[in-house]
Amino acid sequence: MDEHEQPRTDPADRLTVTAAPSGDASEDPATSLLALPWERPLEDWPAEVLAALPRGISRHVVRFARMGAGVVAVKETTEELAFREYRLLRELEDRPSPSVVPVAVVTGRTREDGTALPAALVTRHLRFSLPYRAVFSERMERRTLVRLMDALALLLVELHLEGFFWGDVSLSNVLFRRDAGGFAAHLVDAETGELRERLSTGQREHDLDVARVNIGGELLDLHASGLADPDVDAIATPDLFVESYRQLWQQLTEPTVFPRGEPWRMDRRFRRLSELGFEVEEYSLRAADAPGMMVAQPTDVNSGYHRRSLERLTGLHVQENQARRLLVDIEAARRSWDPFMDMDHAAHRWVIEVFDPVVRSVPLELRAKLEPAEVMHQLLEHRWYLSEARGQAVPLDEAVDSYVETVLRARRDEDALAMHPTTTMLRAVPAPEADPEG
């Protein structure tokens, strides 16, 4: 057991909650969880403790429950699998790859008559996130589907770079958050995963094979439910995902060969990776077989380059594309204020004079529509279109009023989305038989 974890037992019902301290003395996870009705099967929990959020496919019973001021996802499973996934998610928590945050494992559950109940894994609900079916209010359009494929491919690349073998890649095992016009995918089910020092080609290919089958099955389900446009090809779409994965993996890992006297070619390659949102932490440099040529090979690449840069400058924790967009606005503001101002000073001023006032300008009843960084991104886009139409720059205050009334007010509340009738559980799609070791 981790030295920071504290098993706490309620003698009344032999319940044990294993949790890591939250760092917030006012909201201890173990104490808050003990108030939930663990003596009942999860599918019988009363409505007053549940949060009406959309659910995707799961091989287990899963419910969203209110815990203190927040919401948690509770999954019934075996004690062994619950602890295994909990430990794995805790390891992933400290890595760049986005995944849900584990809260606790609950064991020793019994009914009032003493009958044993399954153990439960508890994870923190990811705010403003949606399962893939709930991304669409009516029908799945191909352009949206392509963005989902790109987001899932990026997540898999990030996980593979960390040595994470997923084993069950699918749209159903992730949650999506809006990310400056695209989507960011977050791992929510790591039950079949393993963390290794490095993955073999065979292990990566196995994950791609599983993804092909699962994604195809999920899209066929959407077609059967009448939720996908006719031009969404359930057979060809998984290939979009695989192609997106392969292109990104190649850009991040392939060696760069350049003449010995032209090291700038290596620098250009690394800058390109930064533009993609990745940072080369370590690389190898050696002489190539051809005379006078050198080979540079990235050996340690981390994702979230713009996200980390923005957090360092402002303290804001946002998605990668949102961070890229906000950094551009900070740089534009810096140039307009004083071209000689340093970026740290400009970022501090931008938060105080731009970001915070925009967030405060959103009426309280609309703040569950989108997360603040996505609101800021959409506002900047809206202001640009207004300025183009007028032929001159539109003041920020005016753009905010226009955006709130004409765009934001019409959106659904993604932080408090009630259960949509189309977000029922889908049937699970079996993964293909394959040798993960390759």
CATH of the domain at 157: 1.10.510.10
Burial of 340 (0-12, 13-18, 19+ CB in 10 A): exposed
Residue type, 237: T
In whole angstroms, give the CA distance from residue 317 to residue 308: 8
Q: What is the pLDDT of residue 156?
A: 96
**pLDDT at position 4:** 58
User: How far is the CA of 185 from the CAs of 70, 130, 173, 241, 438, in angstroms?
Assistant: 21, 10, 10, 13, 27
> Which two three-digit tokens encode residue 202?
């065979």
Say yes or no: 12 and 77 in one domain: yes
pLDDT at 227: 73
Q: How many structural domains are present in the chain?
A: 4
- pLDDT score recorded for residue 93: 86
Helix (H) or strand (E) holding 129: strand 129-130
Q: How confident is the model at residue 10 (pLDDT cuts 50, 70, 90)?
A: very low
If asked whether residues 248 and 275 sit together in one domain, one would say no
Residues 295 and 313 in one domain: no
Query: Given 125, 140, 159, which residue is the final one in a domain?
Result: 125
User: 436 pLDDT band (50/70/90 cuts)?
Assistant: very low
User: How far apart (Å, rounded) are the C-alpha atoms in residues 409 and 404?
Assistant: 6
* Residue 380 counted as domain residue: yes
Residues 248 and 154 placed together within one structural domain of the fold: yes
DSSP state of 23: S
Residue 157 lies in a domain: yes
Q: How high does pLDDT run on average in the chain?
A: 85
What string of DSSP letters covers 299-325? EEEEE-HHHHHHHHHH-----HHHHHH
175 and 243, same domain (yes or no): yes
Q: Is residue 355 part of a domain?
A: yes
d(CA 311, CA 304): 10
Q: At 22, is the pLDDT very low, low, confident or very high (cuts 50, 70, 90)? A: low
Judged by DSSP in three states, 290 sits in coil
Provide CB contacts within 8 A for 66, sequence distance 6+: 49, 50, 51
pTM recorded for the entire structure: 0.82
Look at residue 23 and tell me if it is in a domain: yes
430 pLDDT higher than 70: no
In terms of domains, do 207 and 145 share one?
A: yes
| Position 159 in a domain | yes
177 within domain boundaries: yes
State pLDDT tens for residues 399-409. 999 999 999 99
Question: Is 419 inside any structural domain?
Answer: no
What is the DSSP secondary structure assignment for residue 366, as one 8-state letter?
Answer: G
Same domain assignment for residues 35 and 88: yes
Instruction: For residue 298, list its beta bridge partners.
Output: 283
334, 392: one domain: yes
- What 3-state class would DSSP assign to 65? strand
Are 242 and 260 found together in one domain?
no
Judge whether 433 lies within some domain.
Answer: no
* Co-location of 203 and 228 in the same domain: yes
- The CA distances from residue 3 to 6, 31, 135, 249, in Å, are 8, 19, 40, 37
* Residues spanned by the domain of 394: 307-361+370-410
233 has a pLDDT exceeding 90: no
The reply to whether 193 and 82 lie within a common domain is: no
Answer yes or no: do 390 and 330 share one domain: yes
Confidence at residue 11, expressed as pLDDT on a 0 to 100 scale: 38
Dist CA 174 CA 181 (whole Å): 18
